[in-house]
Structure 1
């Protein structure tokens, strides 16, 4: 590998990242193209030989996709089956019954957290928000009293807990076992959901009277008799999580070492998710009256947005390898060492800055993971500490959602709020989710 001038490396990186941000923010260039051009700009301006630039692109795409491609595809199909079967509504309706109307906000927060793991944020919101509106209509409260906890749960599941693509990608780039990421993500996410969900939702519900949209208020309630059973849905969703966690547990608990070969295979993320998807096909699909032909169409349709996700993710891998192969990772690593800044804090700050500038949480996670994973000696940290770094990246990539985030406009339009009210409610909620999750991760990292 060619040794390059550190000053030139830093200048090249600043210019390349500036080009990337300008293309996305000002010129509205597609994120995949912007990241790729930004990464190549860094390579060219830093003086990397052309063959090393090509190698960084090839290795970045190949090594990133091999760890994430199957997860995103299987997760998308799993979520589609859960959606058409009414599984999401089943969990929400059951929890609301058990918690009662007074504590239904907690039920919606838990539902959002669970559903966002296999279902994309946008899809989960569209599926579940009618239930939040129906509760608001029945209790004569502001819709925010129930919508905010639902949004918080969805945001937490989307950001912190694999097999959601974001944290799975960060874990892959940092080389940390998904079992640790799930355990830390659940701890961070649970606290974040409580603070940003029922607690902040109650404050918003009292302060902002947002009525149920007229077109929703006139809709009929769910036909609960047609929904699958609560226990069935939860069991299927837990299959991949339990298998992945058990793979980690059998490796660290001596008494369970004899189970290593079995759970190392079953707990491989794509195997665990494949088992869950096949189970969902038969129990939620065929047993609920869907033919294999209908399931095939639904599952194929669910893969349409996967290509974009994978390409943006792969180009983030290119950025990581460009920083690493150019030697900039060593430069940043030395600078961080001199600042005595914990890696968890650095990861959060980088992700938050990109999130504020670009808007996309996926791009923020990708860029932050690329920069952090290029640092020297990253593999020397313990799995628990690296899992905390993953959570910190997720937290930073969640905070401060505003006008450049598509989620901001989706929530505004679905709930029927003004931009000002959306900033005061949704944006604060996202910042509470990310900030609280980061603080919990930082505390856990002290014991790693």
Structure 2
């Protein structure tokens, strides 16, 4: 067996080991990815003394950037949630659109909210709004739930600073500003198609009322009055601030590269304030002051909110770090070069391969985050054989995110979360939630692939 064939075989065995450890052994993805990276290094013939060094370098190189972004972003999102900013966006949009078009307002609310807030948190906070609308209008819960879920799912998957796209962008060397811009441009029409359009259709096929036990909890609970919530303008401005700073930085860098601008004080300032670290710190401080201190939060309360945010972020950070170790092992073992030569020979575009790998892991494993970082780890070394623009790299990030969204089913925690809160049977969840996720995946990949021919 040639060396190239041996390395390819080792790669497939490593992916098989990862799936076995997660699915059958039920080992945590963090440990599973580290063990897989070690297995790949040892079986590929790397000196044993270099295996752990590669893992350390991979972890450190990935977490140096990603851990900071995810950590700050987590605190930012937690302050937004605790202050009522999430609910303020939803209520304001519903009031502006009117109840007759509330499904359109919910997709927009989800689209905005999932940028700083985790998907499951945003859904749990806003699902009472869905219940109330379904009860008042006598419509199927899915008429309102699917648009909300589509908006949340699209930006959670496509638009940083959520952990998945941040990790993939870092592993591929893509600029976050371009990922934000491209992800938003692709995500909005996809969210509309998977949300209000599909939601209007499937709600006629599946007529479900809000679960009785959920309505009882809602009636027994306390609900903030609209006047006690922060203003929509303040919340939207704070959410949009870091995104705008990062996008402006990327655009200025492009203008300089094309010769339309010269480096100077404007460039220096944009590079500093548009860096994800600075942009997110500015947004977090704004949220802490305008949504926290100005609205009666004590310093102790803000500290508790920040600490609460870092607990779920820690687990995500470790999984992403172990994915970085796997990627580094692929590079150090020589597998990346072999795969790059093989892909170049087949003429298969990297953007297509990225989608296929992410989709295969997603369908088998269930976890969108693990699917993203596994696909990014494999694709990252391959991209070194190509000369790709920043925009093309951003499109590949969206392609991976799309593949990691497809066909959510019984091995995905999101499948059960949605089914439980909406009172759906497994078959109803497959016909609604799973199809919605697949529309997002195919729509995002289709638009990204089309745009890749022009950049």
Shorter-chain TM-score bucket reads over 0.9
Match of 1:427 in 2: 434
Please point out which of 334, 355, 360 is paired with 1:348.
355
Measured after TM superposition, the shift of residue 245 of structure 1 is 0.5
Is 1:370 the counterpart of 2:377? The answer is yes
The 8 Å contact of residues 187 and 440 in structure 1, kept in 2 or not, is answered as: no
The 8 Å contact of residues 340 and 385 in structure 2, kept in 1 or not, is answered as: no
Deviates more, 1:256-265 or 1:289-298: 256-265
Matches within 5 A, 1:209-358: 209-218=207-216, 219-220=218-219, 222-253=224-255, 254-255=260-261, 257-258=263-264, 259-358=266-365
The 8 Å contact of residues 191 and 437 in structure 1, kept in 2 or not, is answered as: no
Equivalent residue of 1:402, what SS? coil
Measured after TM superposition, the shift of residue 89 of structure 1 is 0.7
Match of 1:88 in 2: 86
Q: CA 1:127/1:169 → structure 2, altered by over 3 Å: closer, same or farther?
A: same
Is 1:101 the counterpart of 2:108? The answer is no
Please point out which of 145, 148, 168 is paired with 2:146.
148
TM-score by length of 2: 0.96
5+ residue gaps, structure 2:
none
5+ residue gaps, structure 1:
none
Structure 1 CA distance for aligned equivalents of residues 279 and 262 of structure 2: 19
Structure 2 CA distance for aligned equivalents of residues 241 and 391 of structure 1: 17
Measured after TM superposition, the shift of residue 225 of structure 1 is 1.3
Structure 2 CA distance for aligned equivalents of residues 370 and 144 of structure 1: 36
Match of 1:126 in 2: 124
Structure 2 CA distance for aligned equivalents of residues 255 and 327 of structure 1: 40
Structure 2 CA distance for aligned equivalents of residues 275 and 22 of structure 1: 43
Deviation per residue, 1:308-348 (Å, 9 max, x gap): 11111011001111111111111111221122111111111
Structure 2 CA distance for aligned equivalents of residues 27 and 231 of structure 1: 49
Structure 2 CA distance for aligned equivalents of residues 245 and 447 of structure 1: 20
Measured after TM superposition, the shift of residue 94 of structure 1 is 0.7
The 8 Å contact of residues 324 and 375 in structure 1, kept in 2 or not, is answered as: no
Structure 2 CA distance for aligned equivalents of residues 294 and 94 of structure 1: 26
Structure 2 CA distance for aligned equivalents of residues 307 and 91 of structure 1: 27
RMSD: 1.3
Structure 2 CA distance for aligned equivalents of residues 97 and 194 of structure 1: 19
Structure 2 CA distance for aligned equivalents of residues 378 and 227 of structure 1: 52
Structure 1 CA distance for aligned equivalents of residues 214 and 39 of structure 2: 49
The 8 Å contact of residues 103 and 143 in structure 2, kept in 1 or not, is answered as: yes
Match of 2:20 in 1: 22
Match of 1:49 in 2: 47
Deviates more, 1:265-274 or 1:252-261: 252-261
The 8 Å contact of residues 6 and 44 in structure 2, kept in 1 or not, is answered as: yes
